[in-house]
């Protein structure tokens, strides 16, 4: 058996030819085996990410082509190591979590996104929309001292007026003084402004006055026009989503950003999405965290698809960290990828695992098998076990408590 030394590999300057026929018998088999190994070593050599590593070390911005090569590379450990360098440069050893609660005020939606298992049509079994009295009842049923953030997301409800959203915010801010209300994706903001027959900027100003603290990152899905038209044909475009975020940032509102991956999108779509977010952040600077959302196919029009793999989830977190050099935080949402992978993500570019959540509905409608919430103690334990310092944060990444 021939040994391929480093010197030999280095000497390869062009791809090894695919030998059409290498002979029969023992000799032929050996030649074929060697040729296969030769090709494997060549491909591995070509997979080297040394130039990207040099850019990361020099703190240089990665290009579209770099992003694509990272996604195509199988060198997960190098990608993770590089992302970890950036993660530690930005956030040291800290890993964030938040004590929060989700509130999904309705699921009746005029949009019909093919990836969504949460939405219902009016009158369909399981359809609901919470009136203000239901919101008050919800408030009475929970311990208001237990969380610092309410994450409020719903649907594009055709029957809710602009005033409903104002009342929703003022009720929540009255009943939960001191709690930060992170509410309404950019898609909902477009709908709310339409219901109020006013420009997005005016709608946002009124919502801020009623208690809106920041915007969550949902609804971004995939910005690429062709893919977006297939997965969510009725939704506002990617550029509209970005414009709403820019407007929000110009008013001093902070927001998050997401990307839904693992459905029909291409690797180019993923890189394009990240670069559009990076360009927007260059302009407006208001994004706090990026959260890659792993697609869950159950009960959706793509139910025959498989869930994302652990390798893809880790690569997604790490490459986001490398591409989004102007985003302070990358969140590995434990609900979507599971607590175990969220822990590992803390060494692959992630610095946040989200929070206690109680209780998540959107991903669970699509077959998530994670718990619907976790205790603060469990989150702290997960972070410590991963060798990081747990920091309980507020929505805007203010430090509530460092668990040293």
Binding site for ligand V47 (CB under 6 A): 115-117, 153, 185, 216-219, 221, 256, 258, 260, 291, 293, 295-296, 300, 333, 354, 362-363, 366
Question: Packing angle between helix 200-210 and helix 186-195, nearest 10 degrees?
Answer: 100
Place of tokens 């959706």: 300
Whether the Cβ atoms of residue 360 and residue 368 lie closer than 8 Å to each other: yes
**Which CB, 60 or 398, lies closer to ligand V47?**
398
Give the C-alpha separation, 84 to 78, whole Å.
Answer: 10
CB 336: neighbour CB atoms within 10 A? Answer: 27
**Which CB, 78 or 343, lies closer to ligand V47?**
343
**Which CB, 9 or 400, lies closer to ligand V47?**
400
Question: Packing angle between helix 310-323 and helix 267-284, nearest 10 degrees?
Answer: 30
**Which CB, 367 or 381, lies closer to ligand V47?**
367
Minimum gap (Å) between residue 181 Cβ and ligand V47: 13
Minimum gap (Å) between residue 71 Cβ and ligand V47: 19
Is 373 buried (19+), middle (13-18) or exposed (0-12) by CB count in 10 A?
A: middle
Minimum gap (Å) between residue 12 Cβ and ligand V47: 43
Q: What is the DSSP code (8-state) at residue 77?
A: H
Give the C-alpha separation, 306 to 277, whole Å.
Answer: 27
Helices (H) and strands (E) in the chain, counts: 16, 11
| Bridge partners, residue 101, by sequence | 150
**Which CB, 185 or 356, lies closer to ligand V47?**
185
Minimum gap (Å) between residue 185 Cβ and ligand V47: 6
Going through 176-219 in order, the beta strands assigned E by DSSP cover 180-183, 214-215
CB 138: neighbour CB atoms within 10 A? Answer: 16
* Nearest by Cα to 74 from 311, 233, 326, 368: 311
Residue least distant from ligand V47 (Cβ): 218
Give the C-alpha separation, 373 to 363, whole Å.
Answer: 12
Minimum gap (Å) between residue 355 Cβ and ligand V47: 9
Is 131 buried (19+), middle (13-18) or exposed (0-12) by CB count in 10 A?
A: middle
Minimum gap (Å) between residue 48 Cβ and ligand V47: 34
Pairing of strands 180-183, 149-152: parallel
**Which CB, 157 or 221, lies closer to ligand V47?**
221
**Which CB, 38 or 315, lies closer to ligand V47?**
315
Minimum gap (Å) between residue 151 Cβ and ligand V47: 7
Place of tokens 């175990």: 340
Minimum gap (Å) between residue 51 Cβ and ligand V47: 33
Give the C-alpha separation, 320 to 258, whole Å.
Answer: 10
**Which CB, 129 or 300, lies closer to ligand V47?**
300
**Which CB, 265 or 354, lies closer to ligand V47?**
354
Minimum gap (Å) between residue 288 Cβ and ligand V47: 8
Minimum gap (Å) between residue 225 Cβ and ligand V47: 17
Give the C-alpha separation, 359 to 261, whole Å.
Answer: 23
Give the C-alpha separation, 29 to 228, whole Å.
Answer: 49
**Which CB, 52 or 294, lies closer to ligand V47?**
294
């Amino acid at each position: 058996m021939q040994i391929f030394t480093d010197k030999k590999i280095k000497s390869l300057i062009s791809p090894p030819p695919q030998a059409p026929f290498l002979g029969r018998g023992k000799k032929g088999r050996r030649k074929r085996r060697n040729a296969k190994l030769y090709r494997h070593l060549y491909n591995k050599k070509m997979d080297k990410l040394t130039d990207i590593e040099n850019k990361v070390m020099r703190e240089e911005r990665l290009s579209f082509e770099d992003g694509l090569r990272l996604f195509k590379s199988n060198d997960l450990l190098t990608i993770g190591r590089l992302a970890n360098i950036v993660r530690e440069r930005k956030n040291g050893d800290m890993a964030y979590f938040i004590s929060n609660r989700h509130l999904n005020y309705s699921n009746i939606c005029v949009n019909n996104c093919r990836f969504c298992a949460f939405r219902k049509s009016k009158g369909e079994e399981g359809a609901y929309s919470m009136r203000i009295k239901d919101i008050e009842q919800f408030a009475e049923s929970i311990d208001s001292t237990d969380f610092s953030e309410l994450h409020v997301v719903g649907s594009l409800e055709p029957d809710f007026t602009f005033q409903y959203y104002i009342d929703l915010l003022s009720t929540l801010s009255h009943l939960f003084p001191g709690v930060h209300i992170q509410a309404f994706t950019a898609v909902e903001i477009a709908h709310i402004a339409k219901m109020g027959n006013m420009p997005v900027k005016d709608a946002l100003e009124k919502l801020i006055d009623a208690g809106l603290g920041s915007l969550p990152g949902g609804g971004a899905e995939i910005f690429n026009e062709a893919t977006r038209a297939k997965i969510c044909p009725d939704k506002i475009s990617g550029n509209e989503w970005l414009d709403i975020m820019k407007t929000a940032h110009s008013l001093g509102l902070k927001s998050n950003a997401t990307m839904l991956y693992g459905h029909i999108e291409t690797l180019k779509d993923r890189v394009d999405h990240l670069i559009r977010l990076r360009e927007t952040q260059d302009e407006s600077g208001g994004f706090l965290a990026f959260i890659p959302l792993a697609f869950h196919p159950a009960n959706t029009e793509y139910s025959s698809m498989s869930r994302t793999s652990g390798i893809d989830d880790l690569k997604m977190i790490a490459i986001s960290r490398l591409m989004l050099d102007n985003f302070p935080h990358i969140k590995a949402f434990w609900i979507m990828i599971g607590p175990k992978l969220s822990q590992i993500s803390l060494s692959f570019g992630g610095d946040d695992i989200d929070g206690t959540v109680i209780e998540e509905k959107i991903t669970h409608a699509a077959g998530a098998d994670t718990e619907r919430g976790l205790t603060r103690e469990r989150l702290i334990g997960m972070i410590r076990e991963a060798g990081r310092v747990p920091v309980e944060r507020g929505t805007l990444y203010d430090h509530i408590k460092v668990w040293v």
